[in-house]
Amino acid sequence: MTDTAIIEIAMKTMLVAMQLSAPILATSLAVGFAISLFQSMTQIQEVTLSFVPKLVAVGTALLVSGNWMLHTLMAFTVELFAMLPGLLS
């Protein structure tokens, strides 16, 4: 196993991790910004006002993009297992 192979696997792993977390983080960011804007305009400072909509939005994002996330993770795992014999020799 060479240094190049290790760096390549690490780069692919980080790329897949960013791809898988992007829909959830973007949804949470958008909803959080909208709720914080609403709270600053109305001066309502209620904790559940920001938590519950984020929870619903992230759950919806997981339902919508969960199939794609699972296929991406499975494809990466299959590719990693396929590379394993070449890396061990």
pLDDT (tens digit per residue) in 10-25: 999 999 999 999 999 9
Domain with 68 in it: 3-88
Tokens of 14: 């980080």
Among 37-41, 48-52, 60-64, 71-75, the least confident range: 48-52
pTM comes to 0.81
- Return the beta strands (E) in 1-89 as ranges: none
Number of separate domains in the chain: 1
The answer on pLDDT for 89 being more than 80 is no
Residue 46 has pLDDT above 90, yes or no: no
pLDDT at 8: 92
Residue 1 pLDDT exceeds 80: no
